[in-house]
Amino acid sequence: MTRLDDIPRTSARQPVRKGRRRLRRSAAVIVPLVAAVLFGAYGWQPPEDGRAFRSPYLAQAGSRYAETPIARFHYVKAGSGSPVILLSPGGTSVIGWKEQVPVLARDHTVYVVDLPGQGYTRLKDPAFAFDLDAMTTAVGAFMDAVGVRRAALAGNSWSGGWALAFAQRHPDRVTRLALLDATGLDLPGTWMWESLKIPVVGELAVKLSTGKSTVRGMAEGMMVNKQRVTDQLLDEWWAPMTFHDNIRATYLLERRLDWAQTERALPTTRTPALVLWGRQDTVQPVERAHRFAELLPDARLQILDGCGHVPQLDCPEPVNRHLQAFFADSR
């Protein structure tokens, strides 16, 4: 029988030494990787390549600015008549309503506005919270700045939720409410959007998604009629997504927007509403349109076949018809 005293000390120490070497090798890989990820999330900023883009659409439509303590709001304006305010879809700019402006402007004064963290609006307030209170306050500040007391309001995706929240807080200021594939229900988003709520992951994911090829994939994933994702539309969509303030706003909004508030208030939301939805929406499933229609006391529901998450770009003709008819009652 071998006694412990007979085992060479070098043999007894070999497993310990091997373990330490493996640990050092692992640390040599993991520590730089973690450092690189943290730097990417909190230190590195992608280039703002979109700043050099000169928008043909804005050259034609004409950019305007409204100065407020919250932000220098970027907007376009057309037509005359009762006011209609279209909130730029979350994550993009006034280009999101390009097909609706000339049609609605036949009967209305149409404003399309980029809220803070969207499009070409410049945030001034360093304490701006990017939650529902902040976004609805921004809507009111814009309306005050351009001298509009009451208006019909429309939004798509995130901006539909902001329009809804504003109507719930200020029913006296909203004559009609159009919700296009809108947020506002206390339900989870897609895995991609839910991942933005995770610290580090969200920061890095948004920064890495500003390339044109990524934006094209996102746009085509949201739209059924892929031929409408032209190079010209893609450039307009992509440019403001590269702005650092907009990048930061994207993950902060995903973390801070509390849609439980808006859903709880739906049964007492008396503003006449149009719920307009693409049947093939891959971001906000069409079942959610029916839930809005069930909970809102005064809602018209229209489901559009062959349309995705941004129906105003994907299927502009039927969207224009429905909006024209709905907003006609607000004149």
What pLDDT is stored for residue 66 in this prediction? 98
Cα dihedral 231→87→271→78 (10° resolution): -90
What pLDDT is stored for residue 26 in this prediction? 61
Pairing of strands 299-304, 122-123: unpaired
Predicted structure pTM score: 0.91
Q: List phi, psi (to 5°) of 187.
A: -130, 150
What pLDDT is stored for residue 256 in this prediction? 96
- The answer to whether the beta carbons of residues 121 and 71 sit under 8 Å apart is yes
Spatial CB neighbours of 102, under 8 Å, sequence gap ≥ 6: 78
Calpha distance 232→257 (Å, rounded): 31
- The answer to whether the beta carbons of residues 254 and 202 sit under 8 Å apart is yes
What pLDDT is stored for residue 18 in this prediction? 67
pLDDT, tens digit, 9 for 90 and up, residues 109-143: 999 999 999 999 999 999 999 999 999 999 999 99
- The answer to whether the beta carbons of residues 112 and 103 sit under 8 Å apart is no
3-state class (DSSP) for residue 206: helix
CATH of range 49-328; options 1.10.1740.10, 3.30.465.10, 2.30.30.30, 3.40.50.1820: 3.40.50.1820
What pLDDT is stored for residue 4 in this prediction? 46
pLDDT under 70 in the chain at which residues?
1-19, 21, 23, 26-33, 39-40, 329-331
pLDDT, tens digit, 9 for 90 and up, residues 16-31: 666 676 767 765 656 6
**Residue 75: closest CA among 88, 90, 84:** 88
The distance between the two most distant Cα atoms of the chain, rounded to a whole number of Å, is 103
**Residue 72: closest CA among 135, 123, 125, 126:** 123
Pairing of strands 71-78, 151-156: unpaired
Q: Where are the domains of the chain?
A: 4-42, 49-328
